[in-house]
Chains A and B, each alone.
Chain A
Amino acid sequence: MLVTNPSKVLAPSQSKHAISFSGIWERFGMLIVFAVLFLLCCLFVPYFATFINMKGLGLAISMSGMVACAMLFCLACGDLDLSVASVIACSGVVTAVAINATSSVVLGIGAGLLSGVAFGLMNGFVIAKLQINALITTLATMQIARGLGYIISDGKAVGITEESFFALGNSSLLGIPTPVWLTIATFAVFSFLLNRTVYGRNTLAIGGNEEAARLAGVNVVRTKLIIFTVSGFISALAGVILAARMTSGQPMTSVGFELVVISACVLGGVSLKGGIGKVSYVVAGVLILGTVENAMNLLNMSPFAQYVVRGAILLAAVIFDRYKQKVRA
């Protein structure tokens, strides 16, 4: 970013105009891109605009949307969490094993969520208190969580015997699947946290300038501890829901999912350097990525080609973002 020394302020009418246009773009830019994309898909992709497909699309993005909210906070404070996918797998396995052992759905879900909180606390403690780089720390817990998932499940999918548990993943309310409702709720909660609470504003301040935030009285250690614990908790929640949808805890699920989530955040406009991020960005990023994937499946594109397209979109998004920042400066 270039720093300028403003000395003269132009006439208010002129400056107001410039601010309002860039303001709209900043707030809704990627959502507009999504709207255009969605319209194009409706027009040109067969079966895209059917209720069944919309439901599938909603389910597909419900998991990434949920986890991306927690990732938003990690990125906004200038760090990142690579362990989310492994925590999803591990917590699913823990839930399955615990339900089978106790025949209690509540205890099972509790155990699954607790395992996620434990990984999150561990990440937070090492990153915030011991001040170890977040990339390395979560790279380590990513492998630990994956390994523990395999150990607990003995390397195989664990079928769940208690059928009432499946309602969490497979029931619907007003025709919309429960996981989608839960994701919408997550968006609302995290948007509230980011904009309306000291915790959210402090997260952005830490990402903007950690030392300045500390010297302004922000409790950096506590804030980061909460951020990573919440990330662990949300990943576990996603893992429990996934287990309910699949009716089993699978230790090998969601490999590479952390990168999908980070891609979605960055695609929406969340800065990898920290300090810049909004829930609306995450919503846009998740929707765009999910829609493209859905359209590619409907168009019967080969999975190998899909990788190339996803990578190309991400690359285009960050280049575009960089260009946007340059123009602003």
Chain B
Amino acid sequence: MAGFPSYLEFRNISKHFPGVKALSNISFRVNKGSIHALMGENGAGKSTLLKTLSGLHKPTEGELCIDGEPLAFHSATDSLEQGIAIIYQELNLVPELSVAENIFLGQLPTKNGRVDIDTLNRNARQQLQRLGEDFDPSRPLKEFSIGQWQMVEIAKALSRNAQIIAFDEPTSSLSQREIQNLFKVIRELRDDGKIILYVSHRMEEIFDLCDAITIFKDGCHVQTFDEMSSLSHSRLVELMVGREINDIYNYRSRSLGESGLRVEQLEGKGLSQPISFDIRQGEVLGLFGLVGAGRTELTRLIFGAERAKNGTISVSGKPVNISSPCDAINAGITLCPEDRKADGIVPILSVEENINISARPRHLNLRSLINFGWEKTNAQAQQQSLNIKTASLQQAINQLSGGNQQKVILGRWLSTDMQVILLDEPTRGIDVGAKSEIYELIFDLAERGVTVLVVSSDLPEVLGIADRIMVMKDGAVTGELKRTEFNEQTALSLAMLGNDQAAA
């Protein structure tokens, strides 16, 4: 494709999978020089739409047009040649190769049949400088941060002269500073006349960055606004969900019981100081901090996913010995991991199997045979009470949307006799509707006397649901706030500056 296209059009796009209509009759236009947001709940069809743009999925009906010319793909690499680049949630880079090699992978410059390292590094440096980045492209990629990886991914797209660039949740693991930097680059790309698509769940980002927006719901096109200014936050949520949501957290206070989870002098990988704290039964403790503050590491140590070097853990006042996740589950401690895909779901197995895997050993016939009757009943009960949307319980779990996968993991733990639940970023990458259902569930559990720890880097979320907030920075606890003292600024400064500066 030559020249600079001025618009991209989705024309009556439909995509059907066996048993599922993922997209139906989507039509809208994206103009150059504008950042176009795609918004919708999980499972609304945004990712599927991007996959039709990348050539990974062939639409069942309809076509993609650039400047009115229909596009024809034969494979995923075709889309790059047509000038389309998609920057996915999971970056497609090779950590062991150098930054420069990653940028030019598949089109390395050669001299006499060998890779021309000097030209390669020089070209890579040029590409990075266009993005305002100045790091050494000859170093292996793994030495750099996720934010820099994103820049490498963008540089890769630009090096192939991409005119249409789509971002799929690019900020989900970036720090605030990295996000600002990314936005600056995206705006420059827009001013350069590129066509930009932007998928995110973060409302503030969309209003901050985007110029136009298309809203999806259940695979259908709801509305396209060419001016963001004609849209308010609440109107957007209404359009996405199809109903009005006032306070998605819906905080409920409750009476607290005895000590539920006590951690004393816990030491281990990722912690810079021994950590002690106590959560009461029925209490929701929010664990706030920036990415890399050691929050995930702390939950993994408590759950036995990582061996602790030192320290004692007590559940309901009784000290327990935990050296593996098995031990933790037997002691009544459960963990919903941050990275659902890597640590949560067993992708090939069915929804039913994923729900029952942990509780199964407690419900055997003759102490060794699987009790299929119980398993079916339990899976149905969890599906109903958690409102898990799936074609059938026998469906493979990787066919479900992120929010529904998260509910399956929650159902897995609800099937056990847990007393403590550790939720690591329970609503990351999940749509508003499923989010409020998960908050509701957290309060239900707390009211039943379960001890809840919620890790989150979403400050409004922590403030919205926690009874108490503990803040971490660089592997140590820097402060604690009671609900009556909740204050966005204090929490942020504890997370970013630490104890001393925050007090001063």
Contact = CB atoms under 8 A, between A and B. Distances in A.
Contacts of B24: 8
Most buried by B among A4, A7, A22: A7
B29 to A, nearest CB: 23
A175 interface: no
B345 A209 contact: yes
Interface stretch (B30-38, B155-163, B245-253, B397-405): B397-405
Nearest to A192: B369
Interface in A204-255: 204-205, 207-209, 211-219
B357 A216 contact: yes
A198 B360 CA distance: 8
B71 to A, nearest CB: 20
Give the interface residue-count category, chain A: 35 or more
B480 interface: no
Contacts of B479: none
B321 to A, nearest CB: 16
A10 B20 contact: yes
A9 to B, nearest CB: 5
Interface string B454-489: 000000000000000000000000000000000000
B391 A212 contact: no
Interface in B295-347: 303, 305, 324-326, 329, 335, 337, 342-347
B202 interface: no
Contacts of B391: 6, 9, 15
Given A6-B400, A18-B18, A201-B370, A216 B358 contact: yes
Contacts, number: 133
Given A5-B22, A7-B218, A205-B349, A219 B326 contact: yes
B470 to A, nearest CB: 23
B282 interface: no
Contacts of A207: 348
Interface residues of B, number: 52
Contacts of A6: 17, 19-20, 22, 43, 390-391, 399-401
Contacts of B335: 215
Contact of B349 (A2, A208, A214): A208
Given A6-B17, A10-B19, A276 B348 contact: yes
A69 B357 CA distance: 23
B305 A7 contact: no
A301 B42 CA distance: 59
B368 interface: yes
Contact of B21 (A10, A198, A275): A10
B38 to A, nearest CB: 13
A18 B369 contact: no
Interface of B: 16-22, 24, 42-45, 47-48, 51, 56-57, 218-219, 303, 305, 324-326, 329, 335, 337, 342-349, 353, 357-358, 360-361, 364, 368-370, 390-392, 398-401, 412
12 contacts: A1-B398, A3-B399, A5-B47, A6-B22, A7-B219, A8-B219, A207-B348, A209-B346, A212-B343, A215-B305, A218-B326, A276-B348
Given A4-B399, A276-B348, 10 more contacts: A2-B57, A7-B22, A7-B43, A7-B45, A19-B19, A197-B369, A205-B346, A215-B337, A216-B358, A275-B346
